[in-house]
Amino acid sequence: MPAEVFYDDDADLSIIQGRKVAVIGYGSQGHAHSLSLRDSGVEVVIGLKEGSKSRAKAEEQGLQVMTPAEASAWADVIMVLAPDTAQRTIYAESIAPNLSAGKALFFGHGLNIRFELIKPPADVDVAMVAPKGPGHLVRRQYVDGKGVPALVAVEQDASGNALALALSYAKAIGGTRAGVIKTTFKEETETDLFGEQAVLCGGASALVQTGFEVLTEAGYAPEIAYFECLHELKLIVDLMYEGGIQRMRYSISDTAEFGDYTRGPRVVNAQTKAEMQKILAEIQSGEFTRELIADDEAGGPALAKYRQQGAEHPIEVTGKKLRDMMSWVDRPITETA
Ligand X SMILES: NC(=O)C1=CN([C@@H]2O[C@H](COP(=O)(O)OP(=O)(O)OC[C@H]3O[C@@H](n4cnc5c(N)ncnc54)[C@H](OP(=O)(O)O)[C@@H]3O)[C@@H](O)[C@H]2O)C=CC1
Catalytic residue positions, numbered: 109
201 CB-near residues (< 8 Å, 6+ apart) = none
Q: Is 79 in the site for ligand X (CB under 6 A)?
A: no
Between 200 and 268, CB nearer to ligand LWWEY6Y5 = 200
41 CB-near residues (< 8 Å, 6+ apart) = 13, 17, 172
In the complex, minimum distance from the CB of residue 52 to ligand X, in angstroms, rounded to a whole number: 3
In the complex, minimum distance from the CB of residue 200 to ligand LWWEY6Y5, in angstroms, rounded to a whole number: 5
In the complex, minimum distance from the CB of residue 51 to ligand X, in angstroms, rounded to a whole number: 7
Q: Is 121 in the site for ligand X (CB under 6 A)?
A: no
Between 280 and 322, CB nearer to ligand X = 280
Residues that bind ligand LWWEY6Y5 (CB under 6 A): 132-134, 192, 196, 200-201
Q: Is 30 in the site for ligand X (CB under 6 A)?
A: yes
Find, among 14, 307, 6, 44, the residue nearest to 167 by Cα: 6
43 is in an annotated binding site: no
49 is in an annotated binding site: yes
Between 120 and 135, CB nearer to ligand LWWEY6Y5 = 135
Q: Which stretch binds ligand X (CB under 6 A): 77-85, 162-170, 198-206, 275-283?
A: 77-85
In the complex, minimum distance from the CB of residue 148 to ligand LWWEY6Y5, in angstroms, rounded to a whole number: 9
Residue, CB closest to ligand LWWEY6Y5:
196
**DSSP-based three-state secondary structure for 174:** coil
| Phi, psi for 197 (deg, rounded to 5) | -80, -50
Q: Is 283 exposed, middle or buried (0-12, 13-18, 19+ CB in 10 A)?
A: buried
In the complex, minimum distance from the CB of residue 296 to ligand X, in angstroms, rounded to a whole number: 11
> Edge-to-edge strands of the sheet including 104-107?
5-6, 180-183, 150-156, 125-131, 104-107, 77-80, 20-24, 43-47, 64-66
160 is in an annotated binding site: no
| 138 neighbors 32 (Cβ within 8 angstroms) | yes
Measured torsion, CA atoms of residues 41, 179, 192, 37, in degrees rounded to the nearest 10: 0
Binds 108: which of ligand X, ligand LWWEY6Y5, Mg ion, none (CB < 5-8 Å by kind): ligand X
- What number of other Cβ atoms are within 10 A of residue 220's Cβ? 13
In the complex, minimum distance from the CB of residue 193 to ligand LWWEY6Y5, in angstroms, rounded to a whole number: 8
192 is in an annotated binding site: yes
Q: Which stretch binds ligand X (CB under 6 A): 19-27, 159-167, 211-219, 311-319?
A: 19-27
Q: Is 25 in the site for ligand X (CB under 6 A)?
A: yes
64 is in an annotated binding site: no
Half-sphere exposure of 97 (CA within 13 A, CB side): 9
Q: Which stretch binds ligand X (CB under 6 A): 45-53, 152-160, 254-262, 323-331?
A: 45-53
26 is in an annotated binding site: yes
Cα end-to-end distance, the chain, whole Å: 37
| 24 neighbors 58 (Cβ within 8 angstroms) | no
Between 83 and 244, CB nearer to ligand LWWEY6Y5 = 83
Between 164 and 280, CB nearer to Mg ion = 280
Between 125 and 190, CB nearer to ligand LWWEY6Y5 = 190
Find, among 264, 263, 240, the residue nearest to 252 by Cα: 240
DSSP of 243-299, one letter per residue? Answer: HHHHHHHHHS-HHHHHHHHHHHHHHS-HHHHHHHHHHHHHHHHTHHHHHHHHHHHTT
Q: Residues annotated as binding site for Mg(2+)? A: 192, 196, 228, 232
| Contacting positions for ligand X (CB under 6 A) | 24-30, 48-49, 52-54, 68, 81-84, 86, 90, 108-109, 130-131, 134-135
